[in-house]
Amino acid sequence: MERKRLDVDPETDLAADSEENPETEAPIELAPENLPEEEPAAEAVATGIAAIQHFAKLAPATPGVYRMLNARGEVLYVGKAKNIAKRVSAYTRDTGHTNRIARMIAATATMEFVSTATETEALLLEANLIKRFAPRFNVLLRDDKSFPYILITSDKGAPQIVKHRGARNRPGDYFGPFAAAGAVNRTLTALERAFLLRSCSDAFYESRTRPCLLYQIKRCSAPCTGEIALADYKELVEEARQFLSGKSSAVKDMLAEEMEKSSAALDFERAAALRDRLEALSTIQSHQGVHPRSTDSADIFACHQEGGVTCIEVFFVRNFQNWGDRAYYPRADRSLDTSEVLESFLPQFYESRTAPRSVLLSHEIEDRELLAEALSIRADHRVEVTIPQRGEKRELVEHALLNARSALGRRLAESSSQARLLKALAETFGLPRPPRRIEVYDNSHIQGANAVGVMIVAGREGFAKNQYRKFNIKSEDTARGDDTGMMREVLRRRFARLKDVSPRNTEDAESPWPDLVILDGGQGQLTAALETLAAAGIQNVPMIAVAKGLDRDAGRETFYQQGRGPFRLPPRDSVLYFVERLRDEAHRFAVGSHRVRRKKDIASAGLQEIPGVGPTRKRALLRHFGTLSAVEGAAVSDLEKVQGINATTARAIYDFFHANG
């Protein structure tokens, strides 16, 4: 049986199969969340119009932003306008509204206004408020991760090459953005082979007395121990900067010429080294796919709609090099056309990012000039937003469109598979309907130390990683190592907060309340969970516990559910595999969270936390390896080489860092 992935992670699953024929893809089913919603009652619309008419009298006739809120004070919609009063008055008409606008009007109870000096400022403020409030009637950019860059530092004698995210507060040259961490990691590995630049931390670099493994496998020139003169190392750094700045042909020509000279001088060892460096540079370019010839730096946006879903494919071109692409699936009402979704998406995309000098679009948008002005202000340089009609730029847009169609086809096929799995899950566990939100709980610790409980969330679109939560176990009532007590504490804290922030509404598709809770454990965990929720006054939350099979074998799990005896599912059942994936993801997140907490404790308490390691052995370990992270990554055989560390202690150190949690 073919096993389907639960989700599509934009960090690792790039839509790069440009040769794929979209005409031959599998039939597309509409995902449940994209089905049309019912028209609101006429009375509700009339009530909403009356509320808007009241606030329209108070609206300023200036540029700015308006917010529409429901009776609970939740923001339904954020909009901008050149004239707020005129725009708000348009909502007070009795007819002519789309179903989406009618539903929004019906839900509106109050409004808020913010005036700005210009319409450009209103556009920037609108994007900021949409990101903050995530209103249900706006187009929402749901994946707002920062993009990784490659940084060549300039604040140390021997510059370092590293992957970088976040604020650019370290001196050096930044190259990117790259669409995914995987693309950066591949490029960094190839750059290390091509230019032999160090990637180690400054602390590790400064403590070395002999070259590390990267020198042995020819991925570093070891400036730390003087294997290369600092002046020669800086020449390698400059070559890397030139290559990443778009002068790749010049760098390759120079290396090829040096290789020929070395070969002619019978210096075959140097010629072979230069050949390997050329091969590494070719590897980088082979992963770039499209090679722009005349486009220096640009972001390319291609939008495609199908089956009520919109895909926006973004390509990044910098210094005549393609640094990858990423597919986005913004949440948008199915009544919005491609241009409307793209127009709302772009300000949110650039809300925390700097635009290059050229932004290329596949579709015309209404406020293109206004967007260009806003991006120019934010970037502090002129930004052109264009829809190319011919030439290389049009070819780049067409290539992005092809990727958007392919990515959306795969997305819809997976959504259909996901919908079928959720339906089967509901049938297997007797749920009233396929769950829209599943919460899975697990905990991790080592003999009770650094205990962490976690919650992961999954639904119709796979894992919702931005909604994962971790809970540091801190209650004095929870005994050390008591898994059941930890589960009680996590659920008590989680559902207490849930009751505070949101009333339970089983009909609300956006509700943060779970339709199904899955616990890693057996009857004890299930009983504890039911008692905890009952004590909080919460009833009728479907809940199951999953106990690992004999010898922890996947496929032999036992399920526990209120009102049923323990039961198993057939080994090849698709629901069993689905639940295993959910449980394994929770376990992965729990173990990772536990390790992060354990590292913090080790960093503050020192290596003495490890049995058999006192101050003397700690100093010997740090003197030998340089950093705590290097000690953590060392093999048992490497640890045994440290003065004062015998085989037993080496094994204890290794086991401490590599316990499964």
DSSP class per residue in 26-77 = PP----GGGSPPPPPPHHHHHHHHHHHHHHHTT--SSSEEEEEE-TTS-EEE
* 79-83 average pLDDT score: 94
Give me the phi and psi of 106, to 5 degrees please. -60, -30
Q: How many residues does the chain have?
A: 661
* 19-23 average pLDDT score: 32
Confidence of residue 27 (pLDDT cuts 50, 70, 90): very low
DSSP string for 300-330: EEEEEEETTEEEEEEEEEETTEEEEEEEE--
Q: In Å, what is the CA distance from 49 to each residue of 178, 216, 323? A: 47, 73, 49
pLDDT tens profile 394-440 = 989 998 999 898 888 888 877 778 888 899 999 999 999 999 999 99
More confident residue, 160 or 245: 160
Confidence of residue 360 (pLDDT cuts 50, 70, 90): very high
Adjacent-strand bridge partners of 185: none
Rounded Cα distance between 496 and 489, Å, is 11
Region 1-30+294-428: CATH code: 3.30.420
Lowest mean pLDDT, pick from 287-291, 556-560, 578-582, 634-638 = 287-291
pTM over 0.85: no
Within 153-296, where are the H helices?
181-195, 202-207, 213-216, 230-244, 248-264, 268-286
Q: Where do the CATH 3.40.1440.10 domains begin and end in the chain? A: 42-133
pLDDT for position 457: 92
* Mean pLDDT, the chain, integer: 81
Confidence of residue 450 (pLDDT cuts 50, 70, 90): low
Burial grade of 476 (CB within 10 A; 0-12, 13-18, 19 or more): exposed
More confident residue, 91 or 287: 91
Confidence of residue 373 (pLDDT cuts 50, 70, 90): very high
Fold of the CATH domain 42-133: GIY-YIG endonuclease (3.40.1440)
Lowest mean pLDDT, pick from 257-261, 343-347, 643-647 = 257-261
Cα angle at 306 between 422 and 136, to 5 degrees? 65
pLDDT tens profile 148-172 = 888 998 877 889 988 888 778 888 8
Rounded Cα distance between 542 and 288, Å, is 48
Q: What six digits make up the tokens of 477? A: 């009532």
Confidence of residue 113 (pLDDT cuts 50, 70, 90): very high
Q: CB within 8 A of 123, min separation 6: which ones?
A: 80, 347, 367, 370, 371, 374
Q: CB within 8 A of 425, min separation 6: which ones?
A: 431, 434, 435, 516, 575, 578, 579
Is the CATH code 1.10.150.20 the one for domain 606-658?
Answer: yes
Judge whether 590 and 443 are in contact, CB under 8 Å.
yes
Rounded Cα distance between 33 and 26, Å, is 20
CATH class, 437-597 region: alpha beta
pLDDT for position 602: 55
**Which range, 350-354, 596-600, 629-633, has the best average confidence (pLDDT)?**
350-354
Lowest mean pLDDT, pick from 222-226, 489-493, 595-599 = 595-599
CB neighbourhood size of 154 (10 A): 13
Q: What six digits make up the tokens of 648? A: 């037993």
Q: Where does 319-419 show beta strands of DSSP type E?
A: 321-328, 358-361, 384-386
* 430-456 average pLDDT score: 83
More confident residue, 555 or 128: 128
Lowest mean pLDDT, pick from 81-90, 196-205, 448-457, 502-511 = 502-511
Confidence of residue 603 (pLDDT cuts 50, 70, 90): low
Tokens 């009909």, residue located: 507
Closest of 414, 406, 412 to residue 4, by C-alpha:
414
Confidence of residue 10 (pLDDT cuts 50, 70, 90): very low
Judge whether 45 and 102 are in contact, CB under 8 Å.
yes
Q: In Å, what is the CA distance from 175 to each residue of 33, 242, 252, 318? A: 39, 11, 19, 8
Tokens 């772009």, residue located: 346
Q: Where do the CATH 3.30.420.340 domains begin and end in the chain? A: 437-597
* 2-30 average pLDDT score: 32
Q: Is the pLDDT score of 587 beyond 50?
A: yes
Give me the phi and psi of 83, to 5 degrees please. -135, 105
pLDDT for position 475: 67
Confidence of residue 324 (pLDDT cuts 50, 70, 90): confident
CB neighbourhood size of 120 (10 A): 22
Task: Give percent of the chain above pLDDT 90.
Answer: 28
Counting Cα atoms < 13 Å in the Cβ hemisphere of 330 gives 33
